[in-house]
């Protein structure tokens, strides 16, 4: 069943023009949440997947243009092998189980990150979800999986260098717009709001180019406990801020 959009002013007391177009989230605290309860870390990842559904659905209903979730970084391959194996299986189950939610909410799914190194089972289900939601016109959901911002910039530079080498681009023509268009997030507006859960205050190699002017909202709430109300609070916090982009605001 398709969920009807909601008026952000009614829910948040925020006019639509004050909403962030793109929200990026560093989902932190799954393992900590499970450990606090005396459970295996994987229980935290399972609960965190349920939070993803809540946040995706709310963003879609509010009319947010894009949502990028930092799910698995290139550094996360250093984790224990059994945890990685569980996470990859969880991605497969999530991609299959959430297709109805994606389609019901008119969500367009997109992967950002390197495909190399991901299991074939993950790539297969990811491609299926991408293809089936390609024509959806609502929220663009970017799953940052096997993602690292420095890797993204390296890949962009390599792509640009190849066009210079084959003679179709002059180095003097390289500008910010070209670099942005060469990133994994090409065609998506840069994040206006970056949310990090679990109280951590670092960027962790996430969207380094794209978040140049993003407003940062840090919450002590662990990701498995992050609710619709927490998301609404983050958006209200964003809406109250005065974004200057290097300019001086005169009254």
Q: In what order do the strands lie in the sheet with 193-196?
A: 108-112, 140-147, 66-73, 22-26, 193-196, 215-218
| Residue in 28, 190, 192, 230 annotated catalytic | 28
Report whether 179 contacts 209 (CB < 8 A): yes
User: Cα separation of 39 and 56, whole Å?
Assistant: 26
State CA 78 to chain mean position distance: 21
**C-beta neighbour count of 112 within 10 angstroms:** 22
Asked about 76 being catalytic, the answer comes back as yes
Residue found under tokens 């698995």: 72
Asked about 28 being catalytic, the answer comes back as yes
Sequence-separated (6 or more) residues with CB below 8 Å from residue 106: 2, 60, 136, 137, 138, 139
User: C-alpha angle 107/92/38, rounded to 5°?
Assistant: 105
Query: Phi and psi dihedrals of 195, rounded to 5?
Result: -105, 130
Question: Cβ-count burial of 219 within 10 angstroms (0-12 exposed, 13-18 middle, 19+ buried)?
Answer: buried
| Residue in 7, 10, 76, 205 annotated catalytic | 76
Sequence-separated (6 or more) residues with CB below 8 Å from residue 69: 24, 25, 27, 52, 55, 141, 142, 143, 144
Q: What are the residue numbers of the active site?
A: 28, 76
């Amino acid at each position: 069943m398709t969920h009807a959009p909601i008026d952000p002013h009614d829910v948040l007391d925020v006019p639509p023009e004050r909403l962030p177009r793109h929200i990026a989230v560093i989902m932190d605290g799954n393992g900590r949440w499970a450990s606090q309860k005396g459970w295996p870390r994987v229980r935290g990842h399972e609960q965190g997947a349920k939070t993803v559904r809540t946040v995706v659905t709310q963003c879609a209903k509010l009319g947010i243009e894009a949502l990028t979730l930092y799910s698995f970084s290139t550094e996360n391959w250093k984790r224990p092998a059994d945890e990685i194996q569980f996470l990859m299986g969880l991605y497969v189950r999530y991609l299959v189980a959430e297709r109805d939610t994606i389609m019901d909410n008119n969500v367009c799914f997109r992967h950002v990150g390197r495909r190399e190194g991901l299991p074939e089972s993950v790539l297969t289900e990811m491609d299926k979800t991408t293809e089936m939601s390609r024509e959806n016109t609502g929220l663009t959901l970017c799953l940052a999986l096997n993602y690292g911002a420095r890797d993204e910039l390296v890949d962009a530079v390599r792509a640009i260098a190849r066009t210079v080498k084959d003679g179709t681009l002059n180095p003097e023509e390289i500008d910010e717009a070209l670099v942005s268009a060469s990133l994994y997030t090409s065609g998506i507006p840069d994040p206006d709001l970056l949310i990090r859960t679990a109280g951590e205050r670092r960027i962790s190699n996430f969207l380094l180019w794209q978040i140049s002017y993003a407003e940062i909202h840090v919450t002590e709430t662990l990701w498995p406990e992050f609710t619709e109300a927490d998301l609404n609070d983050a958006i209200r916090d964003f809406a109250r801020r005065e974004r200057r982009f290097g300019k001086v605001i005169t009254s």
